[in-house]
Structure 1
Amino acid sequence: MVQDRGGMGRRNFLAGGAAAGGAALLTGTGLVSPAAAATAEESGALTEPITAVTPADKRYKDLVRGWNQRWVASPEAVYLAETTAQVQEVVQKAVTAGKRLTVRGGGHCWEDWVFNADVRVILDMTKMNKVYFDPAKNAIAVEAGAQLLNVYERMYRTWGVAIPAGMCFQVGAGGHISGGGWGMLCRKLGLVVDHLYAVEVVAVDANGIARTHVATREATDPHRDLWWAHTGGGGGNFGVITRFWFRSPGATGTNPAGLLPQPPAEVLVSAVSWPWAEMTKDRFARLVKNYGDWHARNLKPGGVYDNLVTMLALNHKSNGYIGLITQLDATIPDAEGVLNRFLGEMTAGLDIAHQPLTTAMGELSAMPELAKPRRMPWLQAARYLGTTNPTLNDPSLKGDFKSSYYRTAMPDAHVDAFYRHLTRDDLVNPTASVLLSSFGGQVNAVAPGDTAAPHREAAYKAAWMIWWTDPADEAKSLQWIREFFHGAYADTGGVPVPNAVTDGCYVNYPDIDLHDPAYNTSGVPWSTLYYKDNYPRLQQVKKKYDPRNVFRHSQSIQLPTS
């Protein structure tokens, strides 16, 4: 069993649990009071206890919901684990009692995969948040509950290295990494899973016994398929992820500073916008097509544009503006010239001038100070882009989200649908938008089957999003996003099927409508949209490590029929 590293000692942990208001503790012999547990602990009779937050605890209401306030659960208890042994114990007791269990990492899941009406036990991983060098694996370990900004802070300040993970600061490592992991360094460094060496997972065998497995990418590892499944197979499908280990392929030596890539010392960040008041249909089409065409032409790795990642925020007209954010490695030769050439290609044929980005746009904040490209130290830029975000920091918001990948410039029919729905008068919601963001570059350097993340030939991805607070706004918000998304892909059965133009959907932007025949009439199942040809192999991993389907949610990988 992996030992807890840097955690509280047993006696201090017990004292902390008692001070928190008498929270129940799960031990090797069941739930006991803090006083009884402390007495027994003195004799060495118990395994390390774990805090259980029940409805009587004042923390309960905060711990039964995530970031999306649409989803609130009512479990019997939320367990906050600090060690793998504790995780295994909670899983075993839930399985033995026949109680539905789900796992909360960062709490950022967009659907009800964690917080739903059926769950009786929630395993909260937020206390398993350490990042450290593990000499036994010769890799940097990241516990599953660590949030991304904290991972960056620890890795970069300590060893000068980074993983190319996501932008939003409070996303938890467990779900983000297992789903493939897009981020602002993707064109330069690939997906985060391209640097994943090993994963630790608590799974349940056919006899209902919880077991801990450590799976590596080594060709001789008998659990290698379990490692592979966590390179894009999504969270909540195979077991409880407790930690990851990162070491880039080909890295040598034992100095952690040389085991992962170094991010740029500085990046060049810019943000501009165009007013909807001047955005005719033709101008809109030119901007969107320029974006898609540039990414399709720069799909392959190996060019100077590997150092550039961009986001085009196509906001509803009630926002007032469309925005473009770019981040470029500022240490490359003629960085300003490279960025200017990109901006020139983006605005080719567009006869309106861009302006400062003065309004919040979906998941992006206003950035008027970046109208002129600014050099920023990499970690400062990561913090800036990841935290100055109104939708990430508003605890009242409910939302709905959808996604697609594109392999080519956007076809005319899609552009027309985008323009039509973004200019509808029956919706006034400045948060409603579609964010186009870069793929390609080093992402494209890995074959679709080498990891479970299959969308390696995509040039860019699109993320639909809309938020609301008032329950009265939910119906019209869902109507808008559904009519927009499924209408845009009407010619392919309402979804972006894998073909020469589109390439399916991103599992880290889950969308329950993909398996609803009212919205998906394509004949292509949700599993193919997420996983493409990798799905049958993922099903076999599911069969091997979760044959009882203990780890499931509303869109989890299904056991194979044979």
Structure 2
Amino acid sequence: MHFKWTSLAVIAAAALAGIDTVEASPAGFVSCMQNIKGSPTSKLVISSSNTYNTERFGFNLIFDYKPVAIYHPATAADAASAIKCAAANNINVAPRSGGHSFEGYCEGGKDGALVMDLSLMQQFSLDPTTGIASIGAGSKLGPLYAKLWNAGQYLIAAGTCPSVGIGGHTLGGGLGMVGRKYGMASDNVVGMTFVDPKGNILTVNASTNKDLFWALRGGGAGSYGLVTEFQIQAHKAPPQVTTMLLNFPISKYSEVIDAYAELGQQAPDELMAEMNVGKSGLQVQVNYLGPKTDAEAAVSNFLARTGGTKDQTVKEGTWYDAATQWGWLEGGTLENPIAGDNRYARGRSLVYRKPMSKKEKDILKKYLTKPPKGTSASYIIVDIWGGKVNKPNAPSAFDNHRGVLYGIEFISEWGDHLSKPGVKCSECLSWSQNFAKEMQKAYSSGPTLEAYQNYIERDMPNSMNAYYGSSLPRLIEIKKAVDPNNVFSYAQSIPLKSPQTLLVTPTSTLYPTDRLGALLEFDYKPAAIIHPGSVADAAAAIQCAAYWNVPVAPRSGGHSYEGYSEGGQDGALVIDLNLLQQFDLDSKTGVATVGAGMRIGPLYANLWQAGQYLIPAGTCPTVGVGGQALGGGLGFLSRRYGILVHSIVGLTMIDATGNIRRVSASSDRDLFWALRGAGGGSFGLVTEFQFRVYKAPPKVTTLTIRFARNTYKSVLASLATWARVLSRDLTAITYMDRNTIDVKINFLGSKEQALMAAQPILRLRNSTGPPVSLGDLDIAEGSWYDAATHWSGHPLEDPDVNAGRSYIKGRSLVYRQSLTDREMEIIDQFVTSPPNVITYAFFELWGGNCDRPTHVAPSAFDNHHGVLFGIQYVSGWSDPNLTPGVTCAQCLEWSNRTAQALDAAYGAGPAHLEAYQNYIDRDLPNALHVYYGKGLPRLKRIKREVDPRNVFRFPQSIPLSRESGQHCGQ
């Protein structure tokens, strides 16, 4: 069958598309609604109703949406009937509990929606034996707090604003003034009554509709259906609660901002704080669940760091007193908050896992001290997180935010007279937009933006990932199962497919650069490049490729030595995984879930920020975790923690038929064996890993020992001995070029311990040249993060991907015994003789736990058990224009001559050549046997079972044939 890329594009577009567009029928919908025979208390408001032009608004009056109707159901059954009417007439449903959506999504976020106003659903009861409260989804926080107090002095974990509805607040997370003690509001939900898009009334809890229970708690605001009632765990209020207002002048901005971050890191769980910063000053609001003396002790370090303040108010009272104070009721009560809550405003947010950088703090101050013309108030609110927020009792869709230090709201308000909707302040909006762009550009808390979904922002870049992170793929799958017709839909609801998925074809303006990998000597022209934003989209793309017999080439970082990440030939479908960078870490099990498109640098940064963890991967920060882990993954930690492949405890893989498989030692055992060591692009597409991770030691030391160039034989002859006798906490790479021979050491411990462990290397250095003193050594002691940054030569969080692009021919061999004189001379000649060729070699120590630890399941990498060191020898060239396809005949000729000589001189004999598959070489004789050894027959059998049509193929992929390395492509 002849293939055309246009065919692939058409089928891919169809496979990746959402539902068909059907024209809405407002008239039919209204007729349907008017025929509902339900509770007489339920109320329908349509455009001709007297109250329509007041009821259609939420709290933020800059929005002027015109819903097709507003319906106030009094019962879940009436709500179900209304949802059926909406679904039958293609009308989107917008739940409204309190109407506080930052983007007006409670009113639909557009014209023509059905607003399902839950204000009639304010039922309440509390079981004193369990402390579980049943709460109508239309309850406002103020009256709810009063009911809880009157029921026996109970409280729940929720926010401070008394007019906010419990519904959206809880489904999107729900941070409040007792969050550090009891968690988010969503963490305290134990059950829900839920109306699905078909009108079915469901019970949702940890044992019934478990997927929905997970999704609704953190990702459920208006995306899946209508929650009409919550069962929430309430807590007995403590006898005393202390509130504090600590006011500081703007001149103390830096001291207060820095001390506040420390407060968030060190405060007891009983303390919650919110800081407001505006033009003239800073106010820190403290809520402490305990007596005044304990509260004052808890903030003593904070006050000492700031120099203290005389402008403070401290009150000890009840929880009800505190809730009243933080509600800023202006004369009202919790039972009846009378303060006008409507406003014209623009709100945004970001959350931070570590204190802001100086640049970020400077940006904040620049904008806050120069508010826009026309504003009535422009400010930020900084809420500390931590405590129980980071330690939930059960998993939920909010788990991607565990580990946040604090969150920031950026707010600009205008207009004192709320006379009409849609009033805009252009200066305020520009100020807010510019403020947000600068803060987003300077974001230092992680490799991608992270923000709180309850402060939703339509302009947030890559917003689905910012709000839902690693939870997004599962949220999408649940959305497709629960609401396949997208009845509950708005501009930023959970989509039916990833909104990010990008298909790049040869006619696209992105194609000339997107088709390239890290090595520019290759100029392959793929049929298309797809960047899937979800596992489902990747599966659909594979099905398209299989149908048209197009080879599939996974690309994680694009660093294949032979360009196999781009197919290794023209006409492949490149599946670029750069959008699959989800990350989560379970500190209880020490297992990290990592998207296969994440690069090593950002992975190290995420692990460090999650609690100073590490993983034994490589040093180059732009390399993708996918190919490196599947082919082995050697690095500066491997002698202690093993090869990266040894850390894999589970994978998610899409096979050649588009099936999504969970692969582990107990499920798909053969495939689990094969993928770990031979899985790079031969069996399917791995989209996610579960890695065992390790707590970083307190100190890590880096050390470089330079030898005289003419002593290279002494150094190289010692490699095998070093691999056997050196501490497993010491890993070394020896670098050799025309002028230099350096031994680069990473040691898991202090400087003193490192010098002791490196004595065999130092003794050799001092015996072959003038002795070196401690002051002459390039040595540094710091954290593992410092060491990883040192070896990478780039920022870990956001390495420059383009900086690694180059022209090279790399080859490798691994050794189980010392090099012979002849081998050392060949290597010396390789790096010294060609006058116009860039050449160098790396010698990497193996040994230690590079041999599979006993607790790790067998893998396809086990044929390398017993290797002592490996050599990677590279020739390179350059082109000032970085033109794809530029080659260097002299460089390649020199590399080929060296390879022939080294192969012939191989100490174990040419028939026993062994090489490391991650440094793959198209020209290596009998390559598959050299890379996979005795494991190759089993790999071929698994290949025939998993990918019998050879969809995942490239010139050196695992073949289907039993006898040879020839491919049987269709």
TM category, shorter: 0.7 to 0.9
Aligned match of 2:106: 114
Shift of 1:171: 0.8
Shift of 1:136: 13
Aligned match of 1:459: 405
Q: Which one of the candidate residues 265, 268, 280 is aligned to 2:242?
A: 268
Counterpart of 2:270 in structure 1: which amino acid?
Answer: N
Shift of 1:340: 2.9
C-alpha distance in 2 between matches for 1:487 and 1:447: 37
C-alpha distance in 1 between matches for 2:390 and 2:67: 42
C-alpha distance in 1 between matches for 2:85 and 2:130: 30
Shift of 1:267: 1.0
Going from structure 1 to structure 2, the CA distance change for 1:29 and 1:426 (only over 3 Å counts) comes to closer
Going from structure 1 to structure 2, the CA distance change for 1:498 and 1:541 (only over 3 Å counts) comes to farther
Going from structure 1 to structure 2, the CA distance change for 1:322 and 1:139 (only over 3 Å counts) comes to closer
2:325 is equivalent to residue 384 of structure 1: yes
2:206 is equivalent to residue 211 of structure 1: no
Aligned match of 2:439: 488
| Structure 1 unaligned blocks of 5 or more | 1-25, 38-45, 248-259, 299-304, 357-370, 515-519
Going from structure 1 to structure 2, the CA distance change for 1:540 and 1:290 (only over 3 Å counts) comes to same
C-alpha distance in 2 between matches for 1:95 and 1:238: 13
C-alpha distance in 1 between matches for 2:442 and 2:494: 27
**8 Å Cα contact 1:103/1:123 also seen in 2:** yes
Going from structure 1 to structure 2, the CA distance change for 1:225 and 1:447 (only over 3 Å counts) comes to same
2:493 is equivalent to residue 507 of structure 1: no
CA RMSD in angstroms comes to 2.9
Q: Which one of the candidate residues 240, 257, 263 is aligned to 1:288?
A: 257
**8 Å Cα contact 1:112/1:554 also seen in 2:** no
Question: Could you give the per-residue CA deviations for residues 378-427 of structure 1, whole angstroms, max 9, x where no partner exists?
Answer: 11220221142699934552111111112222211111111111122654
Q: Which one of the candidate residues 469, 485, 491 is aligned to 1:554?
A: 491
Aligned match of 1:438: 384
Counterpart of 2:253 in structure 1: which amino acid?
Answer: F
C-alpha distance in 1 between matches for 2:339 and 2:51: 19
Question: Could you give the per-residue CA deviations for residues 295-316 of structure 1, whole angstroms, max 9, x where no partner exists?
Answer: 1344xxxxxx11111111111x
Shift of 1:480: 1.1
Deviates more, 1:86-95 or 1:70-79: 70-79
Aligned match of 1:156: 149
Aligned match of 1:361: none
2:317 is equivalent to residue 354 of structure 1: no
Q: Which one of the candidate residues 172, 179, 183 is aligned to 2:176?
A: 183
Going from structure 1 to structure 2, the CA distance change for 1:51 and 1:465 (only over 3 Å counts) comes to same
**8 Å Cα contact 1:427/1:480 also seen in 2:** no
**8 Å Cα contact 2:100/2:106 also seen in 1:** no
Aligned match of 1:307: 270
**8 Å Cα contact 1:414/1:489 also seen in 2:** no
Question: Could you give the per-residue CA deviations for residues 118-154 of structure 1, whole angstroms, max 9, x where no partner exists?
Answer: 3342211110111114799994211110111222221
C-alpha distance in 1 between matches for 2:132 and 2:180: 23
Counterpart of 1:354 in structure 2: which amino acid?
Answer: T
Going from structure 1 to structure 2, the CA distance change for 1:310 and 1:422 (only over 3 Å counts) comes to same
Question: Could you give the per-residue CA deviations for residues 484-513 of structure 1, whole angstroms, max 9, x where no partner exists?
Answer: 122023145xxx7745xx871110001111
C-alpha distance in 2 between matches for 1:56 and 1:231: 37
C-alpha distance in 1 between matches for 2:330 and 2:455: 18
2:486 is equivalent to residue 526 of structure 1: no
Shift of 1:373: 0.9
**8 Å Cα contact 1:404/1:506 also seen in 2:** yes
**8 Å Cα contact 1:164/1:186 also seen in 2:** yes
| Equivalent position SS for 1:534 | helix
Q: Which one of the candidate residues 57, 70, 88 is aligned to 1:96?
A: 88
**8 Å Cα contact 2:63/2:104 also seen in 1:** yes
Shift of 1:450: 4.2
C-alpha distance in 2 between matches for 1:395 and 1:291: 29
Largest Rg, 1 or 2: 2
**8 Å Cα contact 2:148/2:155 also seen in 1:** yes
- 1:27-426 alignment runs, 5 A limit: 31=34, 46-49=37-40, 50-115=42-107, 116-133=109-126, 139-204=132-197, 209-218=198-207, 221=208, 223-247=209-233, 260-276=234-250, 279=251, 283-298=252-267, 305-315=268-278, 317=279, 320-331=280-291, 335-336=292-293, 338-351=294-307, 354-356=309-311, 371-388=312-329, 393-394=339-340, 397-424=343-370
C-alpha distance in 1 between matches for 2:129 and 2:116: 27
| Equivalent position SS for 1:199 | strand
| Equivalent position SS for 1:372 | strand
**8 Å Cα contact 1:166/1:182 also seen in 2:** yes
Aligned match of 1:250: none
| Structure 2 unaligned blocks of 5 or more | 1-28, 332-336, 417-421, 498-535, 538-970
**8 Å Cα contact 2:163/2:341 also seen in 1:** no
Shift of 1:242: 0.8
Shift of 1:443: 1.2
C-alpha distance in 2 between matches for 1:121 and 1:59: 15
**8 Å Cα contact 1:293/1:408 also seen in 2:** no
**8 Å Cα contact 1:314/1:433 also seen in 2:** yes
Normalised to the residue count of structure 1, the TM-score between the two structures is 0.76
Going from structure 1 to structure 2, the CA distance change for 1:142 and 1:472 (only over 3 Å counts) comes to closer
**8 Å Cα contact 1:114/1:553 also seen in 2:** no
Going from structure 1 to structure 2, the CA distance change for 1:326 and 1:497 (only over 3 Å counts) comes to closer
Deviates more, 1:443-452 or 1:132-141: 132-141
C-alpha distance in 1 between matches for 2:310 and 2:423: 35
Going from structure 1 to structure 2, the CA distance change for 1:425 and 1:135 (only over 3 Å counts) comes to closer
Deviates more, 1:74-83 or 1:389-398: 389-398
Aligned match of 1:22: none
Counterpart of 1:227 in structure 2: which amino acid?
Answer: F
**Percentage of pairs with the same residue:** 23
Shift of 1:61: 1.7
Counterpart of 1:148 in structure 2: which amino acid?
Answer: L
Aligned match of 1:543: 480
Going from structure 1 to structure 2, the CA distance change for 1:157 and 1:325 (only over 3 Å counts) comes to same
Question: Could you give the per-residue CA deviations for residues 185-219 of structure 1, whole angstroms, max 9, x where no partner exists?
Answer: 01111112222111122112xxxx3212111112x
Counterpart of 1:378 in structure 2: which amino acid?
Answer: W
**8 Å Cα contact 2:123/2:136 also seen in 1:** yes
Shift of 1:375: 0.9
Question: Could you give the per-residue CA deviations for residues 93-112 of structure 1, whole angstroms, max 9, x where no partner exists?
Answer: 11112223222111111112
**8 Å Cα contact 2:371/2:431 also seen in 1:** no
C-alpha distance in 2 between matches for 1:425 and 1:194: 37
Question: Could you give the per-residue CA deviations for residues 278-309 of structure 1, whole angstroms, max 9, x where no partner exists?
Answer: x1xxx3112101111221344xxxxxx11111
C-alpha distance in 1 between matches for 2:184 and 2:229: 18
Counterpart of 2:377 in structure 1: which amino acid?
Answer: T
**8 Å Cα contact 2:172/2:221 also seen in 1:** yes
Normalised to the residue count of structure 2, the TM-score between the two structures is 0.45
C-alpha distance in 2 between matches for 1:68 and 1:559: 28
C-alpha distance in 2 between matches for 1:347 and 1:435: 19
**8 Å Cα contact 1:238/1:546 also seen in 2:** yes
**8 Å Cα contact 1:195/1:246 also seen in 2:** yes
